[in-house]
A = this chain, B = another copy of it.
Amino acid sequence: MQRVTIMDVAARAELSPSTVSLYFRKPDAVSAAASQSIARAIKALDYVPNLMAGGLAAASSRVVSIIVPSVRNAFFAETVATMQSELSKQRLQVMLGHTEYSEHDEEDLVRTALSWAPAAIVLTGLSHTAATRKLLRDGKVPVVEIWELGAQPIDMAVGFHHVQVGSAAASHLIQRRRKQLLFLGARLQEDRRAAQRAQGFVETARSVPDVSAGIIQHPAPASADVGAMLLTEALRRFPGVNGIACSNDHIALGAIFECQRLGLAVPERLSVVGFGDLSFSAGCNPSMTTIRPPGDLIGREAARLVIERIAGVDGKTERAVIDTSFSLLHRQSS
């Protein structure tokens, strides 16, 4: 599969393979003259280093394994894309894994990831199988858990408190004088974080006198269609509902569309709050009040932690936990 090796480059540059290796690893340690002839040889031979050989010899690779539920989800896509660009600046490669919201699949992915002696592993959420936790605690691979805060991380964590998100949505609706609140959620069984938002929403709402709150859910993945269905269901079971928060903006959009079809004025008759601030949320009619999770910031901070940990000396094992927080964007739908 590979023809040109470091030996060929060395031969052509009339140096030893060790020096060529050094040229890649610590360019400053090689004299200018040597550097030049090595660079020339590389170009002439079209040499591509074999990173597997390097990784084997060094017992570590420049691979960062990122494991998310699915990159189909715009939240994680954002984070993965941001991390990728930050990491590639440091010549770190991204290996991607999808759990599809299964902790069991996640365990397999972690096991595979470990097979590559990665520079770091990035996981989504704080909930994992016992075996996963054991694998990661035993190994001395840096671990960053993203998109969730609130429990003890394995190593480092970057994210925010989803319970607080639900709470913020409820407070906002109550402030807008909404009394009968509902949380519309898709796939709350699988999506722990959406469930936390629902929980925070209901708890905060119920702590206020004269305010009622409940959860309406659907097992299918979030989409505008599901949002419309959930709104219909909500009105059927609680005709007086006047404030809803949704597990994400797709649901909220579907709910708003359904209100338009039914002739219910938003926000007069019904206030709607979403989660995500997706591409369409600011532009739709009425524009959507939503809570924006900082997906890019999470990616950037996670990348930073990884890079710093790699660069740092071994002793420097600070178990950073970064709260990126979130922001409620008050727009027309509430």
Contact = CB atoms under 8 A, between A and B. Distances in A.
Contacts of A71: 71, 77, 80-81, 84
Given A1-B140, A61-B52, A96-B96, A228 B78 contact: no
A53 B57 CA distance: 9
A49 B141 CA distance: 16
Interface in A225-261: 225, 227-228, 250, 253-254, 257, 260-261
Contacts of A112: 51, 91, 93
A51 B96 contact: no
Contacts of A250: 279-280
A89 to B, nearest CB: 11
A263 B49 CA distance: 61
A296 to B, nearest CB: 9
Contacts of A17: none
B225 A282 contact: yes
Given A95-B93, A98-B81, A285-B261, A52 B280 contact: no
Contact of A224 (B80, B114, B282): B282
Nearest to A85: B98
A113 B80 CA distance: 18
A55 B56 CA distance: 10
Contact of A2 (B88, B117, B135, B280): B117
A139 B2 CA distance: 8
Given A71-B80, A72-B78, A224-B280, A48 B97 contact: no
Number of copies: 2
A95 B98 contact: no
Interface string A99-129: 0100000000001101111000000000000
A60 B53 CA distance: 11
A121 to B, nearest CB: 12
Nearest to A134: B46
Contact of A60 (B1, B111, B225): B1
Interface residues of A, number: 63
A279 B74 CA distance: 11
Given A279-B250, A280-B280, A1 B81 contact: no
The 5 closest A-B pairs by CB, nearest first: A224-B283, A51-B115, A52-B55, A72-B81, A1-B59
Given A71-B84, A81-B98, 20 more contacts: A1-B117, A2-B117, A46-B138, A50-B115, A51-B112, A51-B115, A52-B55, A52-B116, A53-B56, A70-B81, A71-B80, A85-B100, A88-B98, A93-B95, A93-B116, A223-B279, A224-B284, A225-B282, A253-B283, A253-B284
Interface of A: 1-2, 46, 48-53, 55-56, 59-61, 63, 70-72, 74, 77-78, 80-81, 84-85, 88, 91, 93-98, 100, 111-112, 114-117, 134-135, 138-141, 223-225, 227-228, 250, 253-254, 257, 260-261, 279-280, 282-285
